[in-house]
Amino acid sequence: MKKILIVEDEQKIRKVIKSYLQDEYNIFEAVNGKEALSLFKTKNFDLIILDLMLPEISGEEVCQTIRQVSEVPIIMLTAKSSEENKIEGFDYGADDYLTKPFSPRELLARTRAILRRSSNQNRASIISLNRGEFKIYPDEMTVKKEGQECDLTSTEFKILMTLINNAGQVLSREQLADQVMGLEFSGFDRTIDAHIKNIRKKMNLDKDQYIVTVYGAGYKFTGDI
Amino acid sequence: MKKILIVEDEQKIRKVIKSYLQDEYNIFEAVNGKEALSLFKTKNFDLIILDLMLPEISGEEVCQTIRQVSEVPIIMLTAKSSEENKIEGFDYGADDYLTKPFSPRELLARTRAILRRSSNQNRASIISLNRGEFKIYPDEMTVKKEGQECDLTSTEFKILMTLINNAGQVLSREQLADQVMGLEFSGFDRTIDAHIKNIRKKMNLDKDQYIVTVYGAGYKFTGDI
DNA sequence: AGAATATTTGATTATTTTTTGAGGTGGCAG
DNA sequence: CTGCCACCTCAAAAAATAATCAAATATTCT
Protein backbone atom coordinates (compact mmCIF):
# COMPACT_ATOMS: atom_id res chain seq x y z
CA MET A 1 0.00 0.00 0.00
CA LYS A 2 1.35 3.40 -0.91
CA LYS A 3 2.41 5.70 1.88
CA ILE A 4 1.17 9.26 2.08
CA LEU A 5 2.35 11.92 4.50
CA ILE A 6 -0.11 14.63 5.47
CA VAL A 7 1.44 17.79 6.86
CA GLU A 8 -1.25 20.02 8.32
CA ASP A 9 -1.53 21.78 11.65
CA GLU A 10 -5.31 21.96 11.82
CA GLN A 11 -6.53 18.72 13.28
CA LYS A 12 -9.95 19.02 11.70
CA ILE A 13 -8.62 19.24 8.18
CA ARG A 14 -6.10 16.48 8.82
CA LYS A 15 -8.91 14.24 9.93
CA VAL A 16 -11.06 14.91 6.90
CA ILE A 17 -8.21 14.26 4.51
CA LYS A 18 -7.28 11.11 6.32
CA SER A 19 -10.80 9.77 6.24
CA TYR A 20 -10.91 10.14 2.48
CA LEU A 21 -7.53 8.61 1.77
CA GLN A 22 -7.12 5.90 4.35
CA ASP A 23 -9.06 3.26 2.49
CA GLU A 24 -6.57 3.28 -0.36
CA TYR A 25 -3.41 4.49 1.23
CA ASN A 26 -1.29 4.15 4.30
CA ILE A 27 -1.54 7.54 6.00
CA PHE A 28 1.09 9.23 8.16
CA GLU A 29 0.61 12.60 9.79
CA ALA A 30 2.71 15.52 10.85
CA VAL A 31 1.41 18.64 12.56
CA ASN A 32 4.32 20.94 11.73
CA GLY A 33 7.29 21.31 9.47
CA LYS A 34 9.80 19.93 11.89
CA GLU A 35 7.85 16.75 12.42
CA ALA A 36 7.34 16.48 8.67
CA LEU A 37 11.02 16.68 7.91
CA SER A 38 12.00 14.18 10.53
CA LEU A 39 9.32 11.74 9.37
CA PHE A 40 10.44 12.30 5.80
CA LYS A 41 13.91 11.12 6.69
CA THR A 42 12.71 7.86 8.18
CA LYS A 43 10.25 6.75 5.52
CA ASN A 44 9.98 6.60 1.77
CA PHE A 45 6.67 8.26 1.02
CA ASP A 46 4.91 7.97 -2.30
CA LEU A 47 3.22 11.33 -1.91
CA ILE A 48 3.27 14.28 0.45
CA ILE A 49 0.28 16.53 1.04
CA LEU A 50 1.64 19.74 2.44
CA ASP A 51 -0.12 22.72 3.94
CA LEU A 52 1.50 26.02 3.03
CA MET A 53 0.72 27.72 6.31
CA LEU A 54 2.48 25.95 9.12
CA PRO A 55 3.80 27.12 12.45
CA GLU A 56 7.58 27.39 12.83
CA ILE A 57 8.90 26.14 9.50
CA SER A 58 6.64 27.19 6.63
CA GLY A 59 5.32 24.81 3.99
CA GLU A 60 7.44 26.50 1.36
CA GLU A 61 10.58 25.81 3.29
CA VAL A 62 9.57 22.21 3.90
CA CYS A 63 8.90 21.77 0.22
CA GLN A 64 12.19 23.26 -0.84
CA THR A 65 14.11 21.23 1.68
CA ILE A 66 12.53 18.02 0.50
CA ARG A 67 13.12 18.92 -3.14
CA GLN A 68 16.82 19.23 -2.55
CA VAL A 69 17.03 15.52 -1.99
CA SER A 70 13.90 13.93 -3.42
CA GLU A 71 11.54 13.84 -6.36
CA VAL A 72 8.59 12.64 -4.30
CA PRO A 73 5.30 14.08 -5.59
CA ILE A 74 3.98 16.93 -3.45
CA ILE A 75 0.50 18.39 -3.38
CA MET A 76 0.33 21.77 -1.72
CA LEU A 77 -2.65 23.10 0.14
CA THR A 78 -2.88 26.84 0.18
CA ALA A 79 -5.28 29.11 2.00
CA LYS A 80 -4.24 32.17 0.11
CA SER A 81 -6.91 32.62 -2.44
CA SER A 82 -5.61 35.56 -4.34
CA GLU A 83 -4.18 34.43 -7.60
CA GLU A 84 -1.13 36.60 -7.15
CA ASN A 85 0.06 34.64 -4.16
CA LYS A 86 -0.46 31.38 -5.91
CA ILE A 87 1.65 32.35 -8.84
CA GLU A 88 4.42 33.37 -6.50
CA GLY A 89 4.01 30.15 -4.62
CA PHE A 90 4.02 27.90 -7.56
CA ASP A 91 7.70 27.48 -7.86
CA TYR A 92 8.61 25.68 -4.73
CA GLY A 93 8.58 22.43 -6.61
CA ALA A 94 5.14 21.14 -5.78
CA ASP A 95 3.39 18.93 -8.31
CA ASP A 96 -0.06 20.29 -7.74
CA TYR A 97 -1.88 22.93 -5.76
CA LEU A 98 -5.26 23.05 -4.10
CA THR A 99 -6.78 26.17 -2.64
CA LYS A 100 -8.61 25.94 0.65
CA PRO A 101 -11.41 25.33 1.09
CA PHE A 102 -11.04 22.37 -1.22
CA SER A 103 -13.20 19.37 -1.92
CA PRO A 104 -11.80 16.21 -0.36
CA ARG A 105 -13.05 14.28 -3.34
CA GLU A 106 -11.02 16.49 -5.61
CA LEU A 107 -7.99 15.92 -3.44
CA LEU A 108 -8.57 12.18 -3.76
CA ALA A 109 -8.88 12.48 -7.52
CA ARG A 110 -5.68 14.48 -7.79
CA THR A 111 -3.90 12.10 -5.49
CA ARG A 112 -4.86 9.17 -7.65
CA ALA A 113 -3.89 11.02 -10.80
CA ILE A 114 -0.47 11.96 -9.53
CA LEU A 115 0.28 8.50 -8.20
CA ARG A 116 -0.91 6.99 -11.43
CA ARG A 117 1.38 9.23 -13.38
CA SER A 118 4.39 8.42 -11.27
CA SER A 119 3.72 4.70 -11.38
CA ASN A 120 3.05 4.86 -15.09
CA GLN A 121 6.59 5.87 -15.78
CA ASN A 122 7.71 2.33 -15.35
CA ARG A 123 4.82 0.82 -17.13
CA ALA A 124 4.57 -2.93 -17.15
CA SER A 125 5.51 -4.37 -20.46
CA ILE A 126 4.45 -7.46 -22.27
CA ILE A 127 5.19 -10.76 -20.56
CA SER A 128 5.98 -13.68 -22.76
CA LEU A 129 5.79 -17.31 -21.62
CA ASN A 130 7.21 -20.39 -23.26
CA ARG A 131 8.87 -18.51 -26.09
CA GLY A 132 5.73 -16.68 -27.07
CA GLU A 133 3.09 -19.35 -26.66
CA PHE A 134 1.49 -17.12 -24.07
CA LYS A 135 1.57 -13.36 -24.10
CA ILE A 136 0.31 -11.28 -21.22
CA TYR A 137 -0.50 -7.61 -21.67
CA PRO A 138 -0.88 -6.00 -18.26
CA ASP A 139 -2.14 -2.67 -19.61
CA GLU A 140 -4.75 -4.34 -21.67
CA MET A 141 -5.68 -6.91 -19.07
CA THR A 142 -5.50 -9.59 -21.68
CA VAL A 143 -3.79 -12.94 -22.05
CA LYS A 144 -3.27 -14.58 -25.40
CA LYS A 145 -2.42 -18.17 -26.17
CA GLU A 146 -1.04 -18.47 -29.64
CA GLY A 147 -2.68 -15.22 -30.59
CA GLN A 148 -6.06 -16.23 -29.29
CA GLU A 149 -7.44 -14.22 -26.40
CA CYS A 150 -8.08 -16.19 -23.22
CA ASP A 151 -10.73 -13.86 -21.85
CA LEU A 152 -9.92 -13.85 -18.16
CA THR A 153 -12.13 -11.86 -15.79
CA SER A 154 -10.50 -9.09 -13.81
CA THR A 155 -10.22 -11.19 -10.66
CA GLU A 156 -8.72 -14.07 -12.55
CA PHE A 157 -6.29 -11.72 -14.23
CA LYS A 158 -5.28 -10.20 -10.94
CA ILE A 159 -4.64 -13.62 -9.43
CA LEU A 160 -2.50 -14.56 -12.40
CA MET A 161 -0.51 -11.33 -12.17
CA THR A 162 0.00 -11.78 -8.45
CA LEU A 163 1.37 -15.23 -9.01
CA ILE A 164 3.64 -14.04 -11.79
CA ASN A 165 4.87 -11.07 -9.80
CA ASN A 166 5.87 -13.49 -7.08
CA ALA A 167 7.09 -16.19 -9.41
CA GLY A 168 8.71 -19.09 -7.63
CA GLN A 169 7.22 -18.20 -4.29
CA VAL A 170 4.41 -20.19 -2.78
CA LEU A 171 1.44 -17.96 -2.04
CA SER A 172 -1.19 -19.18 0.36
CA ARG A 173 -4.83 -18.84 -0.53
CA GLU A 174 -5.06 -16.20 2.14
CA GLN A 175 -2.20 -14.18 0.68
CA LEU A 176 -3.76 -14.35 -2.74
CA ALA A 177 -7.14 -13.29 -1.41
CA ASP A 178 -5.55 -10.38 0.45
CA GLN A 179 -3.79 -9.18 -2.66
CA VAL A 180 -6.63 -9.62 -5.06
CA MET A 181 -9.88 -9.14 -3.18
CA GLY A 182 -8.53 -6.92 -0.43
CA LEU A 183 -7.91 -7.56 3.20
CA GLU A 184 -11.50 -7.35 4.27
CA PHE A 185 -12.35 -10.39 2.21
CA SER A 186 -13.25 -13.26 4.49
CA GLY A 187 -14.67 -15.85 2.15
CA PHE A 188 -13.98 -19.52 1.85
CA ASP A 189 -10.77 -21.07 0.63
CA ARG A 190 -12.61 -22.65 -2.24
CA THR A 191 -13.07 -19.25 -3.84
CA ILE A 192 -9.43 -19.14 -4.85
CA ASP A 193 -9.58 -22.72 -6.04
CA ALA A 194 -12.47 -21.88 -8.27
CA HIS A 195 -10.62 -18.98 -9.81
CA ILE A 196 -7.51 -21.05 -10.32
CA LYS A 197 -9.60 -23.67 -11.98
CA ASN A 198 -11.05 -21.09 -14.33
CA ILE A 199 -7.64 -19.69 -15.17
CA ARG A 200 -6.28 -23.13 -15.96
CA LYS A 201 -9.27 -23.94 -18.05
CA LYS A 202 -9.29 -20.69 -19.98
CA MET A 203 -5.55 -20.79 -20.59
CA ASN A 204 -5.70 -24.51 -21.21
CA LEU A 205 -2.99 -25.30 -18.70
CA ASP A 206 -2.11 -28.66 -17.26
CA LYS A 207 -2.00 -28.78 -13.51
CA ASP A 208 1.76 -28.67 -13.38
CA GLN A 209 2.20 -26.03 -16.03
CA TYR A 210 3.06 -22.57 -14.71
CA ILE A 211 0.47 -22.55 -11.93
CA VAL A 212 1.44 -25.33 -9.58
CA THR A 213 -0.56 -26.48 -6.59
CA VAL A 214 1.61 -26.83 -3.53
CA TYR A 215 -0.13 -29.37 -1.38
CA GLY A 216 -1.01 -27.95 2.00
CA ALA A 217 0.43 -24.53 1.24
CA GLY A 218 -1.08 -22.77 -1.74
CA TYR A 219 -0.04 -22.05 -5.29
CA LYS A 220 3.06 -20.89 -7.02
CA PHE A 221 4.07 -19.80 -10.45
CA THR A 222 6.92 -21.74 -12.03
CA GLY A 223 8.68 -21.54 -15.32
CA ASP A 224 10.65 -18.99 -17.24
CA ILE A 225 9.16 -15.60 -17.72
CA MET B 1 17.65 17.76 -28.68
CA LYS B 2 13.99 18.46 -29.19
CA LYS B 3 12.93 22.02 -29.78
CA ILE B 4 10.18 23.63 -27.75
CA LEU B 5 8.63 27.01 -28.35
CA ILE B 6 7.22 28.88 -25.37
CA VAL B 7 4.72 31.58 -26.21
CA GLU B 8 4.01 33.65 -23.13
CA ASP B 9 3.96 37.40 -22.55
CA GLU B 10 4.72 37.38 -18.84
CA GLN B 11 8.45 37.24 -18.44
CA LYS B 12 8.27 35.73 -14.96
CA ILE B 13 6.32 32.72 -16.09
CA ARG B 14 8.41 32.29 -19.20
CA LYS B 15 11.51 32.17 -17.06
CA VAL B 16 10.13 29.58 -14.70
CA ILE B 17 9.01 27.34 -17.53
CA LYS B 18 12.32 27.66 -19.26
CA SER B 19 14.24 26.78 -16.13
CA TYR B 20 12.31 23.55 -15.84
CA LEU B 21 12.58 22.48 -19.45
CA GLN B 22 15.99 23.67 -20.56
CA ASP B 23 17.87 20.70 -19.17
CA GLU B 24 16.07 18.33 -21.47
CA TYR B 25 15.03 20.49 -24.36
CA ASN B 26 16.13 23.26 -26.61
CA ILE B 27 13.99 26.23 -25.65
CA PHE B 28 12.82 29.08 -27.87
CA GLU B 29 10.69 31.96 -26.67
CA ALA B 30 8.10 34.28 -28.11
CA VAL B 31 6.41 37.07 -26.19
CA ASN B 32 3.41 37.50 -28.46
CA GLY B 33 1.45 35.81 -31.20
CA LYS B 34 3.14 37.59 -34.05
CA GLU B 35 6.58 36.59 -32.89
CA ALA B 36 5.33 33.06 -32.32
CA LEU B 37 4.02 32.70 -35.85
CA SER B 38 7.11 34.09 -37.45
CA LEU B 39 9.35 31.83 -35.38
CA PHE B 40 7.09 28.93 -36.20
CA LYS B 41 7.73 29.46 -39.90
CA THR B 42 11.47 29.32 -39.51
CA LYS B 43 11.83 26.27 -37.28
CA ASN B 44 10.37 22.82 -36.92
CA PHE B 45 9.34 22.64 -33.30
CA ASP B 46 8.57 19.39 -31.53
CA LEU B 47 6.19 21.06 -29.10
CA ILE B 48 4.62 24.45 -28.56
CA ILE B 49 3.58 25.74 -25.17
CA LEU B 50 1.07 28.44 -25.79
CA ASP B 51 -0.51 30.94 -23.44
CA LEU B 52 -4.12 31.63 -24.27
CA MET B 53 -4.05 35.25 -23.23
CA LEU B 54 -1.71 37.15 -25.45
CA PRO B 55 -1.59 40.75 -26.59
CA GLU B 56 -2.45 41.44 -30.22
CA ILE B 57 -3.10 37.99 -31.65
CA SER B 58 -4.78 35.68 -29.13
CA GLY B 59 -3.55 32.21 -28.29
CA GLU B 60 -6.59 30.67 -29.91
CA GLU B 61 -5.83 32.35 -33.19
CA VAL B 62 -2.20 31.32 -33.02
CA CYS B 63 -3.26 27.76 -32.34
CA GLN B 64 -5.72 27.67 -35.20
CA THR B 65 -3.28 29.21 -37.58
CA ILE B 66 -0.62 26.68 -36.71
CA ARG B 67 -3.08 23.82 -36.96
CA GLN B 68 -3.93 24.74 -40.52
CA VAL B 69 -0.49 23.70 -41.58
CA SER B 70 0.95 21.51 -38.84
CA GLU B 71 0.27 18.69 -36.45
CA VAL B 72 2.86 19.84 -33.91
CA PRO B 73 1.78 19.06 -30.34
CA ILE B 74 0.47 22.09 -28.48
CA ILE B 75 0.01 22.54 -24.76
CA MET B 76 -2.22 25.47 -23.90
CA LEU B 77 -1.98 27.54 -20.78
CA THR B 78 -5.25 29.08 -19.71
CA ALA B 79 -6.05 31.49 -16.92
CA LYS B 80 -8.29 30.29 -14.13
CA SER B 81 -10.88 32.95 -14.92
CA SER B 82 -11.56 31.47 -18.30
CA GLU B 83 -12.02 27.98 -17.02
CA GLU B 84 -15.12 27.52 -19.09
CA ASN B 85 -12.92 27.91 -22.10
CA LYS B 86 -10.94 24.82 -21.32
CA ILE B 87 -13.20 22.63 -23.34
CA GLU B 88 -12.93 24.95 -26.27
CA GLY B 89 -9.16 24.67 -26.07
CA PHE B 90 -9.44 21.20 -27.47
CA ASP B 91 -11.53 22.50 -30.32
CA TYR B 92 -8.70 24.71 -31.40
CA GLY B 93 -6.54 21.67 -31.72
CA ALA B 94 -4.52 21.77 -28.52
CA ASP B 95 -3.21 18.43 -27.29
CA ASP B 96 -3.31 19.33 -23.64
CA TYR B 97 -4.01 22.31 -21.48
CA LEU B 98 -2.98 23.54 -18.07
CA THR B 99 -4.83 26.02 -15.93
CA LYS B 100 -2.91 28.86 -14.36
CA PRO B 101 -1.53 28.89 -11.83
CA PHE B 102 0.03 25.60 -12.81
CA SER B 103 2.87 23.62 -11.42
CA PRO B 104 5.99 23.69 -13.58
CA ARG B 105 6.68 20.12 -12.59
CA GLU B 106 3.34 19.08 -13.94
CA LEU B 107 4.10 20.94 -17.14
CA LEU B 108 7.36 19.03 -17.39
CA ALA B 109 5.57 15.74 -16.78
CA ARG B 110 2.99 16.48 -19.46
CA THR B 111 5.65 17.66 -21.85
CA ARG B 112 7.51 14.40 -21.48
CA ALA B 113 4.31 12.45 -21.85
CA ILE B 114 3.27 14.22 -25.02
CA LEU B 115 6.68 14.02 -26.64
CA ARG B 116 6.95 10.36 -25.79
CA ARG B 117 3.57 9.75 -27.33
CA SER B 118 4.19 11.78 -30.46
CA SER B 119 7.54 10.17 -31.09
CA ASN B 120 5.93 6.78 -31.03
CA GLN B 121 3.16 7.53 -33.44
CA ASN B 122 2.48 10.69 -35.25
CA ARG B 123 -1.22 11.03 -35.02
CA ALA B 124 -3.00 10.98 -38.30
CA SER B 125 -5.33 13.83 -39.01
CA ILE B 126 -7.99 11.45 -40.19
CA ILE B 127 -8.56 8.15 -38.45
CA SER B 128 -10.11 5.40 -40.46
CA LEU B 129 -11.71 2.33 -38.94
CA ASN B 130 -12.66 -0.91 -40.58
CA ARG B 131 -11.29 0.05 -43.98
CA GLY B 132 -13.18 3.28 -44.16
CA GLU B 133 -16.52 2.34 -42.66
CA PHE B 134 -15.82 4.91 -39.98
CA LYS B 135 -13.88 8.07 -40.47
CA ILE B 136 -12.92 10.25 -37.56
CA TYR B 137 -11.84 13.84 -38.08
CA PRO B 138 -10.23 15.00 -34.83
CA ASP B 139 -9.84 18.60 -35.96
CA GLU B 140 -13.46 18.87 -36.89
CA MET B 141 -14.69 16.77 -34.01
CA THR B 142 -16.80 14.69 -36.31
CA VAL B 143 -17.29 11.01 -36.92
CA LYS B 144 -18.77 9.60 -40.07
CA LYS B 145 -20.14 6.14 -40.65
CA GLU B 146 -20.30 5.40 -44.34
CA GLY B 147 -20.26 9.10 -45.09
CA GLN B 148 -23.10 9.84 -42.73
CA GLU B 149 -22.29 12.06 -39.78
CA CYS B 150 -22.80 10.46 -36.36
CA ASP B 151 -23.30 13.74 -34.56
CA LEU B 152 -21.47 13.09 -31.32
CA THR B 153 -21.52 15.76 -28.64
CA SER B 154 -18.20 17.17 -27.53
CA THR B 155 -18.08 15.04 -24.39
CA GLU B 156 -18.87 11.93 -26.34
CA PHE B 157 -16.24 12.81 -28.91
CA LYS B 158 -13.62 13.40 -26.28
CA ILE B 159 -14.35 10.10 -24.63
CA LEU B 160 -14.01 8.38 -27.97
CA MET B 161 -10.73 10.14 -28.70
CA THR B 162 -9.37 9.33 -25.28
CA LEU B 163 -10.13 5.68 -25.83
CA ILE B 164 -8.58 5.76 -29.29
CA ASN B 165 -5.47 7.59 -28.11
CA ASN B 166 -5.00 4.83 -25.57
CA ALA B 167 -6.12 2.06 -27.84
CA GLY B 168 -5.72 -1.36 -26.30
CA GLN B 169 -5.39 -0.07 -22.78
CA VAL B 170 -8.14 -0.47 -20.27
CA LEU B 171 -9.20 2.91 -18.94
CA SER B 172 -11.20 3.08 -15.76
CA ARG B 173 -14.25 5.28 -15.57
CA GLU B 174 -12.29 7.52 -13.27
CA GLN B 175 -9.43 7.88 -15.72
CA LEU B 176 -11.87 8.71 -18.49
CA ALA B 177 -13.63 11.27 -16.32
CA ASP B 178 -10.29 12.82 -15.37
CA GLN B 179 -9.27 13.14 -18.98
CA VAL B 180 -12.54 14.35 -20.32
CA MET B 181 -14.29 16.29 -17.58
CA GLY B 182 -11.22 17.25 -15.60
CA LEU B 183 -10.04 16.27 -12.18
CA GLU B 184 -12.50 18.42 -10.37
CA PHE B 185 -15.34 16.33 -11.68
CA SER B 186 -16.70 14.25 -8.88
CA GLY B 187 -19.81 12.78 -10.38
CA PHE B 188 -21.13 9.27 -10.47
CA ASP B 189 -19.74 6.36 -12.42
CA ARG B 190 -22.91 6.04 -14.41
CA THR B 191 -22.18 9.29 -16.18
CA ILE B 192 -19.51 7.61 -18.24
CA ASP B 193 -21.76 4.67 -18.93
CA ALA B 194 -24.41 6.98 -20.25
CA HIS B 195 -21.96 8.64 -22.62
CA ILE B 196 -20.65 5.29 -23.79
CA LYS B 197 -24.18 4.19 -24.45
CA ASN B 198 -24.80 7.27 -26.55
CA ILE B 199 -21.60 6.79 -28.51
CA ARG B 200 -22.47 3.19 -29.26
CA LYS B 201 -25.95 4.14 -30.27
CA LYS B 202 -24.94 7.04 -32.46
CA MET B 203 -22.18 5.07 -34.14
CA ASN B 204 -24.33 1.99 -34.23
CA LEU B 205 -21.72 -0.21 -32.60
CA ASP B 206 -22.21 -3.64 -31.15
CA LYS B 207 -21.00 -4.04 -27.61
CA ASP B 208 -17.83 -5.82 -28.63
CA GLN B 209 -17.05 -3.60 -31.56
CA TYR B 210 -14.24 -1.10 -30.93
CA ILE B 211 -15.45 0.04 -27.52
CA VAL B 212 -15.29 -2.97 -25.26
CA THR B 213 -16.55 -3.08 -21.72
CA VAL B 214 -14.04 -4.65 -19.38
CA TYR B 215 -16.09 -5.91 -16.53
CA GLY B 216 -14.90 -4.60 -13.21
CA ALA B 217 -12.28 -2.38 -14.79
CA GLY B 218 -13.57 0.08 -17.36
CA TYR B 219 -13.52 0.34 -21.13
CA LYS B 220 -10.98 -0.13 -23.83
CA PHE B 221 -10.71 0.49 -27.52
CA THR B 222 -9.88 -2.54 -29.61
CA GLY B 223 -9.40 -3.07 -33.27
CA ASP B 224 -7.15 -1.74 -35.95
CA ILE B 225 -6.84 1.96 -36.31
C1' DA C 1 -35.46 35.00 -21.37
C1' DG C 2 -36.95 30.83 -23.52
C1' DA C 3 -36.07 26.90 -26.33
C1' DA C 4 -33.15 23.42 -27.63
C1' DT C 5 -29.23 20.49 -26.39
C1' DA C 6 -26.31 18.27 -23.62
C1' DT C 7 -25.05 16.27 -19.30
C1' DT C 8 -25.85 14.18 -14.99
C1' DT C 9 -28.34 11.44 -12.01
C1' DG C 10 -31.16 7.84 -9.68
C1' DA C 11 -33.88 3.99 -10.48
C1' DT C 12 -34.64 -0.20 -12.78
C1' DT C 13 -33.39 -3.97 -15.35
C1' DA C 14 -30.05 -7.00 -17.35
C1' DT C 15 -25.77 -9.20 -17.31
C1' DT C 16 -21.59 -11.09 -15.64
C1' DT C 17 -18.75 -12.46 -12.15
C1' DT C 18 -17.86 -14.26 -7.75
C1' DT C 19 -18.86 -17.06 -4.07
C1' DT C 20 -20.51 -21.01 -2.09
C1' DG C 21 -21.58 -25.77 -0.74
C1' DA C 22 -21.77 -30.36 -1.97
C1' DG C 23 -19.80 -34.28 -3.90
C1' DG C 24 -15.96 -36.34 -6.15
C1' DT C 25 -10.82 -37.18 -6.62
C1' DG C 26 -6.37 -38.15 -5.47
C1' DG C 27 -2.14 -37.67 -2.84
C1' DC C 28 0.06 -38.85 1.36
C1' DA C 29 0.94 -40.61 6.06
C1' DG C 30 0.40 -44.21 8.91
C1' DC D 1 -3.57 -50.47 1.59
C1' DT D 2 -6.73 -47.42 3.64
C1' DG D 3 -8.63 -43.47 5.38
C1' DC D 4 -8.14 -38.67 5.90
C1' DC D 5 -7.59 -34.37 4.36
C1' DA D 6 -6.67 -31.19 0.97
C1' DC D 7 -7.82 -30.17 -3.48
C1' DC D 8 -10.82 -30.14 -7.74
C1' DT D 9 -15.09 -29.53 -10.09
C1' DC D 10 -19.61 -28.20 -10.88
C1' DA D 11 -23.65 -25.70 -10.93
C1' DA D 12 -26.70 -22.80 -8.49
C1' DA D 13 -27.14 -18.73 -5.46
C1' DA D 14 -25.56 -14.40 -4.33
C1' DA D 15 -23.25 -10.34 -5.27
C1' DA D 16 -21.29 -7.05 -8.09
C1' DT D 17 -21.25 -4.48 -12.06
C1' DA D 18 -23.10 -2.61 -16.38
C1' DA D 19 -26.83 -1.14 -19.59
C1' DT D 20 -30.68 1.37 -20.14
C1' DC D 21 -34.13 4.67 -19.33
C1' DA D 22 -36.44 8.71 -18.06
C1' DA D 23 -36.33 12.65 -15.47
C1' DA D 24 -33.73 16.48 -13.45
C1' DT D 25 -30.01 19.85 -14.21
C1' DA D 26 -27.08 22.42 -16.56
C1' DT D 27 -25.60 24.54 -20.63
C1' DT D 28 -25.84 26.66 -25.05
C1' DC D 29 -28.11 28.96 -28.64
C1' DT D 30 -31.35 32.17 -30.52
Q: How many Å apart are CA A103 and CA A100, to the nearest integer?
A: 8
pLDDT at residue B120 in the model: 47
What Rg value do the Cα atoms of chain A yield, rounded?
22
Distance from CA(A154) to C1'(C16), angstroms, rounded:
11
Nucleotides of chain D touched by protein CB (<7 A): 6-11, 16-22, 28
Distance from CA(A150) to C1'(D28), angstroms, rounded:
46
Pairing mode of beta strands A47-51, A3-7: parallel
Do the chains contact at B101 and A87, CB–CB below 8 Å? Answer: yes
Task: Please check whether strand D approaches the CB of A167 to within 7 Å.
Answer: no
pLDDT at residue B108 in the model: 87
Strand C protein footprint, C-beta under 7 A: A 153-156, 181, 185, 187-188, 190-191, 193-195, 215; B 151, 153-156, 181, 185, 187-188, 190-191, 193-195, 215-216
Q: Is B126 buried (19+), middle (13-18) or exposed (0-12) by CB count in 10 A?
A: exposed
Residues of chain B neighbouring A141 (CB-CB closer than 8 A): 170, 214, 217, 220
For residue B207, give how far its alpha carbon lies from the nearest alpha carbon of chain A (Å).
15
Residues 6+ apart with CB under 8 A from A146: A133
Q: How far is CA B130 from the centre of its chain?
A: 24
Task: Please check whether strand D approaches the CB of A216 to within 7 Å.
Answer: yes
Interface of B with A (CB under 8 A): 12-13, 16, 80, 100-106, 109, 113, 168-170, 174-175, 178, 183-186, 214-217, 220
Task: Please check whether strand D approaches the CB of A208 to within 7 Å.
Answer: no
Q: Which of A49, A86, A141, A152 is the best substitution to test chain B (most B C-beta atoms within 10 A)?
A: A141
Q: Has residue B1 got a pLDDT over 70? A: yes
Confidence of residue B116 (pLDDT cuts 50, 70, 90): low
DSSP state string for B60-109: HHHHHHHHHH----EEEEEEGGGGGGHHHHHHTT-SEEEEES--HHHHHH
Angle ∠(A193,A195,A198) on CA atoms, nearest 5:
110
Please give the CATH number for the structural domain made up of A3-122. Answer: 3.40.50.2300
Distance from CA(B173) to C1'(D22), angstroms, rounded:
23
Find the mean pLDDT for residues B40-62.
86
pLDDT at residue B205 in the model: 93
Minimum Cα–Cα distance from B112: chain A residue: A121
Q: Cβ(A113)–Cβ(B178) under 8 Å?
A: yes
Residues of chain A neighbouring B212 (CB-CB closer than 8 A): none
Q: How many Å apart are CA A185 and CA A174, to the nearest integer?
A: 9
> Could you tell me what percent of chain A has a pLDDT over 70?
89
Q: How many Å apart are CA A136 and CA B21, to the nearest integer?
A: 36
How many helices, marked H, and strands, marked E, lie in chain B? 8, 11
- Average predicted confidence (pLDDT) for chain A: 85
Q: Cβ(A6)–Cβ(A30) under 8 Å?
A: yes
pLDDT at residue A61 in the model: 87
Q: Has residue A45 got a pLDDT over 80? A: yes
Angle ∠(A151,A157,A160) on CA atoms, nearest 5:
120
How confident is the model over B145-155, as pLDDT tens digits? 988 889 999 99
Distance from CA(B154) to C1'(D23), angstroms, rounded:
22
Positive or negative, the CA dihedral B175, B180, B182, B188 is: negative
| Residue A145: CB atoms within 10 Å | 16
Q: How many Å apart are CA A36 and CA A219, to the nearest integer?
A: 42
The better pLDDT of the pair B20, B85 is held by: B20
**Chain A span 141-160 residues with beta carbon within 7 Å of strand D:** none
**Chain B span 57-86 residues with beta carbon within 7 Å of strand D:** 84
Residues of chain A neighbouring B105 (CB-CB closer than 8 A): 93-95
Q: Cβ(B73)–Cβ(B48) under 8 Å?
A: yes
Listed residue (B77, B117, B119, B67) closest to B99, CA to CA = B77
For residue A22, give how far its alpha carbon lies from the nearest alpha carbon of chain B (Å).
18
CATH topology assigned to domain B127-221: Arc Repressor Mutant, subunit A (1.10.10)
C-alpha distances (whole Å) from B100 to each of A69, A97, B21, B55, B208 are 27, 10, 18, 17, 40
Question: Which amino acid belongs to residue B135?
Answer: K
How confident is the model over A179-199, as pLDDT tens digits? 898 876 666 778 999 999 999
C-alpha distances (whole Å) from A60 to each of A78, A90, A193, B68 are 10, 10, 53, 43
Which uninterrupted H or E stretch holds A118?
helix A104-120
Find the mean pLDDT for residues A42-60.
89
Q: Which of A97, A103, A140 sits opposite B220 (nearest CB)?
A: A140
Q: Is B123 buried (19+), middle (13-18) or exposed (0-12) by CB count in 10 A?
A: middle
How confident is the model over B59-92, as pLDDT tens digits? 888 888 888 777 788 888 876 544 444 444 455 6
Confidence of residue B57 (pLDDT cuts 50, 70, 90): confident
How confident is the model over A54-96, as pLDDT tens digits? 888 888 889 888 988 888 888 888 775 544 444 444 566 777 7
Distance from CA(B83) to C1'(C1), angstroms, rounded:
25
How confident is the model over B148-204, as pLDDT tens digits? 889 999 999 999 999 998 888 999 999 999 888 877 776 788 999 999 999 999 999
pLDDT at residue A86 in the model: 46
Pairing mode of beta strands A127-129, A134-137: antiparallel
Domain ranges of chain A: 3-122, 127-221
CA dihedral B88→B89→B92→B94, nearest 10 degrees, is -150
Do the chains contact at B184 and A109, CB–CB below 8 Å? Answer: yes
Q: Has residue B140 got a pLDDT over 60? A: yes
Prediction pTM value: 0.69
pLDDT at residue B86 in the model: 44
Preceding amide of B138 cis, omega within 30:
no
pLDDT at residue A120 in the model: 61
Distance from CA(B176) to C1'(C16), angstroms, rounded:
22
Do the chains contact at A83 and B101, CB–CB below 8 Å? Answer: yes
Listed residue (B166, B154, B151, B167) closest to B204, CA to CA = B151
Q: Which of B16, B106, B170 sits opposite A140 (nearest CB)?
A: B170
How confident is the model over A92-134, as pLDDT tens digits? 677 777 777 787 887 888 888 788 767 665 556 788 888 788 9
Residues 6+ apart with CB under 8 A from A137: A126, A143, A144, B168
pLDDT at residue B77 in the model: 85
Q: How many Å apart are CA A142 and CA A157, to the nearest integer?
A: 8
pLDDT at residue B224 in the model: 72
